Amino acid sequence: MKFFADTAEIAEIRDLAATGLLDGVTTNPSLIHKSGRDFLEVVKEIAGVVEGPVSAEVVALDHQGMMREAEVLRKIADNIAIKVPLTEDGLKTCKALTSDGTMVNVTLCFSAAQALLAAKAGATFISPFVGRHDDVGFDGMALIADIRLIYDNYDYATQILVASVRHPMHVVEAAKIGADVMTAPPKIIHQLFKHPLTDSGIKSFLADWEKTGQKIG
Ligand code: G3P
């Protein structure tokens, strides 16, 4: 499973990239606003830190406007994935961009029907928002399972990118279903490393080691 960081905070991205476990980054207009940075500048900086895809989202709602913005964004670096919303114009843009060899992340997916359309449009990634789906009383993980089944039925190459991840179990459940990628805020990725029994185990091993009076090297 690929791990993407859902943030535009460069320090957090550098920190995660240093683990060697970070495969890409996703941004959205809200995360850019939160960073307080210039959109094009921060995306360029992120694309220089991670080798994998960096999603940058268009804000136009019409096909021509999306194409114009995508043209600006894809020039930033070779690893930019253009993020488009799951609308008719978004999928038209997706089809045009992917036919031209540009990576496209189709975002704001909330149904299996939408995910099927995105795959038909040649999307590189489909981003179902599990947390926001759960928030309104639906089952985000059931949606991931449905998309996995449909994509496997037809051998669609579109990668399922689980987004709006709110806690470590979202990651584990998505991995059990076989999602290709998950994107999460850095805080959640750091939580994945942690277990209280790991901490207490280290503590007791070190206490016993201390008693041996030995040193390594
Ligand atoms: O980047 C899209 C998605 O991950 C947003 O998550 O927490 O704002 O629903 P959230």
> What pLDDT digit, counting tens, does each position of 52-108 carry?
999 999 999 999 999 999 999 999 999 999 999 999 999 999 999 999 999 999 999
Q: Which of 34, 83, 176, 203 is catalytic?
A: 83
Which residue's alpha carbon is at the smallest distance from atom 4 of ligand 1?
A: 164
List the structure tokens of 214: 């030995």
What is the domain partition of the chain in residue ranges? 2-192
Q: What is the pLDDT of residue 100?
A: 93
Q: Are 53 and 79 in contact (CB under 8 A)?
A: yes
Q: Could you tell me if 124 and 151 are in contact, meaning their C-beta atoms sit under 8 angstroms apart?
A: no
Sorted by sequence, the CB contacts under 8 Å of residue 31 that are 6+ apart come out as 6, 7, 8
* Angle at CA of residue 23, ends 7 and 178, nearest 5°: 100
Ligand 1-lining residues (CB < 6 angstroms): 6, 26, 28, 129, 131-132, 163-164, 183
Buried residues in 121-145 as b, exposed as e (16+ CB within 10 A)? bbbbbbbbbbeebbeeeeebbebbb
Dump pLDDT digits (tens) for 155-189: 999 999 999 999 999 999 999 999 999 999 999 99
CATH entry, 2-192, from 3.40.190.10, 3.20.20.70, 3.40.50.1360, 3.20.20.450: 3.20.20.70
